[in-house]
Structure 1
Amino acid sequence: MGAGANLHGRSFEEVLETIFASADDLLIVDPITDAVESLTALATTADDPPRIRVLADESLLKDVMDDFVVASNAADHVDAGTLTIRTGSSGHRNPLAVANGTVWSLVAVGDNVAALGTDEDSFVDTVDDLYESQWQIASDFDLRTPPISRVRETLGAEIGEQTREDFDATLDALKSARSATAEFDEVTLTLLVAARNDVLLYDISKWGEDVGIASKATFSRTKTTLEDEGLIRTEKVPIDVGRPRLRLKLNEDRFDEATPEELAAVTLSHSA
């Protein structure tokens, strides 16, 4: 056991942050949900993150990437070349982290996380050879969520800077307000923000489909649900040719000031 190889913390994020500090190339094998979420969060905040490779069970990846915040940030790192995700499982009970000549077994017990490590050369070489061979035959994970940077950039350019600012503020409020397990519907979030800014349904749904959030049909169905629940209303806007377009508006009877925090709370309650 290499001196000082073991790490302890209150969360995966705390332990992985220590590994990040000295790693150039980090391989994570069989992570649990908390570990994937922590990796994504750390890669987002780190000034110079290592190159990260994740080899994980496909069903776990699908579950964790169902979270828009995690998936859209992960997509940013994939686009930047910082993160590569492939599907595969070794059957280990605990996640493994391999970086800079050390192998750690990541163990979570209650509110504590430990990384039990060794830097014994022959063992590390064996682990490297085993998982490099598994990595080479593994398939890339199909991450269908668009990168959050692209969402923000195109929302501001195509819909308006105020709408983008409201989207960012509401998303930040959502991340602060929700519990660790609470999920929310990004289409609901987008439509509420659009309604706060009197955006046309056609414009926001076309943007949403083009950027990869959801189809126009999904936006339309969600709009109808929000309208039926009295959260938003629509006004017809005549156009030169064809049917009138619908302008989205918040139902003032359901909102006090429609702050980002209020929109976030409504989004969470609607998604529950």
Structure 2
Amino acid sequence: MAPSSNLLNTQIDDIVKTVLEDATGDVYMVNPSRDAIEDFVSVATADDDDLPTVHMLADERTLKDVMDDFIVASNAADLIDAGRLELRTIEEAPENSLLVTDDAVVAIVHAADRVGGLVADDEEFVSATVETYAGRWDDAEPFSLRTPPITRVRNTLSEEISPEAEDDFTTILGSLETARGDGDGLDEVTISLLFAARNEALLYDISKWGEDVGIASKATFSRTKTKLEDMGLIDTEKVPIDVGRPRLRLKIGDERLADADNGQLATVAQSMLN
């Protein structure tokens, strides 16, 4: 069933949620803005009900920018794994962002600080629009999302490091609005090393887990460890092993981080890095 009227003076996430809840078949999300992509992932991740599969046709540069945020990308990867999202890139985009269902075409229009969803439900028009974007979908290039699904990250972390480390990781990630490492948030490797230090895990174990699950290479973990150690956020101690060079155990290196609970750890670390 299509939305019964235009969706005016609402937020993008409300528009997306209304359209998805009313849709009976597949949905095409065409030329979404960065905010629209983030809001879709948030809505779809939070909704336990069976939502339709969304075929997202987006500008490649916009997708890359949005998916640089580990929080968004890892949740999007979960949706892809569940068959609820597919990503392809579009070259010739319409002027507005569109949500296209079997029953309606909704144009998302921005006017100053207001957002509206303008609904067209004429059967002939909707049918022609669906046919158009189904064809463009078939011709579009898939977008390769390299970020691992957040469910896999958490499950393997619990199994390979410890349930306590997984709890810390989830809490730290949940305290952040973004995980980019660009000044607005810590990146996923820094977060991993912080909760590893909180749990006094071995650098070898956390970097092997991170590489195996697809977060980053062992070399990236090593470089980031050196940076954090040089800045005093973490410390290391050598742990002898039967054969080969000693391994390094990670430890929190600053009292401010040691005294912070997991909900505050990211904020304190960010302030120190800045």
- TM tier, shorter chain? over 0.9
The corresponding residue for 2:82 is 80
1:21 Cα offset (Å): 1.4
Sort the Cα spacing of 1:9 and 1:160 in 2 relative to 1 into closer, same or farther, 3 A.
farther
Q: Residues 28 and 56 of structure 2 are in contact (CA less than 8 Å); yes or no, is this contact kept in structure 1?
A: yes
1:206 and 2:208 matched = yes
Given the alignment, which residue of 211, 232, 236 partners 1:234? 236
The corresponding residue for 2:156 is 154
Please show how residues 206-225 of structure 1 align to structure 2 within 5 Å. Answer: 206-225=208-227
Given the alignment, which residue of 139, 145, 166 partners 1:164? 166
Instruction: After superposition, give the CA deviation of every residue in 1:236-266 in whole Å (9 maximum; x if it has no partner).
Output: 0000111100000001434252311232114
SS of the residue 2:176 aligns to: helix
The corresponding residue for 1:21 is 21
1:103 and 2:105 matched = yes
The corresponding residue for 1:34 is 35
SS of the residue 2:51 aligns to: coil
* Aligned mates of 2:260, 2:105 — CA distance in 1: 50
Q: Residues 90 and 140 of structure 2 are in contact (CA less than 8 Å); yes or no, is this contact kept in structure 1?
A: yes
Paired-residue identity, %:
51
Instruction: After superposition, give the CA deviation of every residue in 1:145-169 in whole Å (9 maximum; x if it has no partner).
Output: 0000000000000000000000011
* Aligned mates of 2:215, 2:9 — CA distance in 1: 36
SS of the residue 1:8 aligns to: coil
* Residues paired across the two proteins, number: 269
Amino acid at match of 1:138: A
Sort the Cα spacing of 1:270 and 1:154 in 2 relative to 1 into closer, same or farther, 3 A.
farther
TM-score, L = length of structure 2: 0.92
Q: Residues 179 and 185 of structure 2 are in contact (CA less than 8 Å); yes or no, is this contact kept in structure 1?
A: no
1:64 and 2:62 matched = no
Runs of at least 4 residues off by over 6 Å: none
Q: Residues 158 and 165 of structure 2 are in contact (CA less than 8 Å); yes or no, is this contact kept in structure 1?
A: yes
The corresponding residue for 1:8 is 8
1:131 Cα offset (Å): 0.8
Sort the Cα spacing of 1:268 and 1:9 in 2 relative to 1 into closer, same or farther, 3 A.
farther
Q: Residues 194 and 204 of structure 1 are in contact (CA less than 8 Å); yes or no, is this contact kept in structure 2?
A: yes
Q: Is 132-141 or 7-16 further displaced after alignment? A: 7-16
* Aligned mates of 1:260, 1:17 — CA distance in 2: 31
Sort the Cα spacing of 1:177 and 1:238 in 2 relative to 1 into closer, same or farther, 3 A.
closer
SS of the residue 2:175 aligns to: helix
1:137 Cα offset (Å): 0.9
Root-mean-square deviation over aligned CA pairs: 2.0
Instruction: After superposition, give the CA deviation of every residue in 1:102-136 in whole Å (9 maximum; x if it has no partner).
Output: 00110123432211011112211221121111000
Q: Residues 55 and 135 of structure 1 are in contact (CA less than 8 Å); yes or no, is this contact kept in structure 2?
A: yes
Q: Residues 231 and 254 of structure 1 are in contact (CA less than 8 Å); yes or no, is this contact kept in structure 2?
A: no
* Aligned mates of 2:200, 2:185 — CA distance in 1: 26
Q: Residues 189 and 267 of structure 1 are in contact (CA less than 8 Å); yes or no, is this contact kept in structure 2?
A: no
Please show how residues 256-267 of structure 1 align to structure 2 within 5 Å. Answer: 256-267=258-269
1:89 Cα offset (Å): 3.2
* Aligned mates of 1:256, 1:268 — CA distance in 2: 14
Q: Is 166-175 or 67-76 further displaced after alignment? A: 166-175
* Aligned mates of 1:254, 1:242 — CA distance in 2: 35
* Aligned mates of 1:271, 1:49 — CA distance in 2: 40
Instruction: After superposition, give the CA deviation of every residue in 1:39-89 in whole Å (9 maximum; x if it has no partner).
Output: 101110112222111001111110000000100000001011110011113
* Aligned mates of 1:177, 1:218 — CA distance in 2: 16
Q: Which runs of 5+ in 2 are unaligned?
A: none
Q: Is 262-271 or 223-232 further displaced after alignment? A: 262-271
* Aligned mates of 2:100, 2:188 — CA distance in 1: 34
1:177 Cα offset (Å): 11
Amino acid at match of 2:55: R
Sort the Cα spacing of 1:105 and 1:162 in 2 relative to 1 into closer, same or farther, 3 A.
same
Given the alignment, which residue of 178, 186, 189 partners 1:187? 189
SS of the residue 2:159 aligns to: helix
Q: Which runs of 5+ in 1 are unaligned?
A: none
